[in-house]
A and B are shown apart, each in its own frame.
Chain A
Amino acid sequence: MELEKQVDGQVAVLRCSGRLNMGAAGRLRAAVDETVADGVRRIVVDLSETSFVDSSGLGALVGGLKSARQAGGDLRIAAAPEQVRTVLALTNLDRVLTPHQTVEDAHRGW
């Protein structure tokens, strides 16, 4: 998985390209924690190029969400492809990680 980070003011966009699996989950989690530690507490994870997510990747998203919220911010996900949306629904995580259609949609209200 490739991970790109773009910070625009108070919002950081983390773009995950490839498979968000066991080998990649730790990097996403570390990137979220580092972003929050830098004082940017609103995070959008752009999943448009994420071809596959497994339970480790879901765990990293949940962990990142908790980190951001504990710091008074939030983590939102955007542009999740079908496999990701299916797995979020299967695990009931779509209730806490609501998939937004686009990165711009995820920004709304911030």
Chain B
Amino acid sequence: MAGDHTLSGLAVPEGLDELHDLLEQVGVQHPDVSPADLMLFETAVIEIAGNVVEHGRPPGGVHWKFSIQVRPDRIEATLADDGMAFEDARVLADASMPDADAEDGRGFAMASQVLDELSYERRGSANLWAMVRRRS
């Protein structure tokens, strides 16, 4: 379908660069999407994907598939990975911003703030993250 872009690979730091590159292409192919919307969406995608890179098990051995769709009213994406189940889904429900002197723990709070919908589910042997941002 027009407007769909996908990427498969390993959940490793280099994989994050591939996601950045894909999102850049999305911007080129959809000049109607506001750069601010795309920039905020990219910020969220990289936080969610970065969490998989950092906490996915087995480390370095998790495969993912990313898919992004540009709709007239929204941008939506899914990130599916074959790692072990993400066990701390509660952090999603309580993604508050840590204090200024914290050196970590901001990723989910940042993603939640710039997305209209963010969800996680374990489906079969996969972790499935869904992200939606309504276009401004």
Contact = CB atoms under 8 A, between A and B. Distances in A.
A55 B47 contact: yes
Given A22-B53, A54-B47, A95 B100 contact: yes
A93 interface: yes
B102 A62 contact: yes
B50 A54 contact: yes
Nearest to A82: B39
Q: How large is the interface on B (under 10, 10 to 19, 20 to 34, 35 or more residues)?
A: 20 to 34
Contacts of A90: 110, 113-114
Q: Is the interface of B mostly helix, strand, loop or mixed?
A: helix
A21 B50 contact: yes
Given A52-B20, A52-B46, A22 B114 contact: no
A23 interface: yes
B104 interface: yes
A56 interface: yes
A56 to B, nearest CB: 7
Interface string B2-39: 00000000000110110010000000000000000001
Nearest to B40: A86
15 contacts: A19-B20, A22-B13, A22-B54, A23-B14, A23-B16, A54-B107, A55-B110, A56-B50, A58-B106, A62-B100, A66-B103, A82-B39, A83-B43, A87-B43, A96-B100
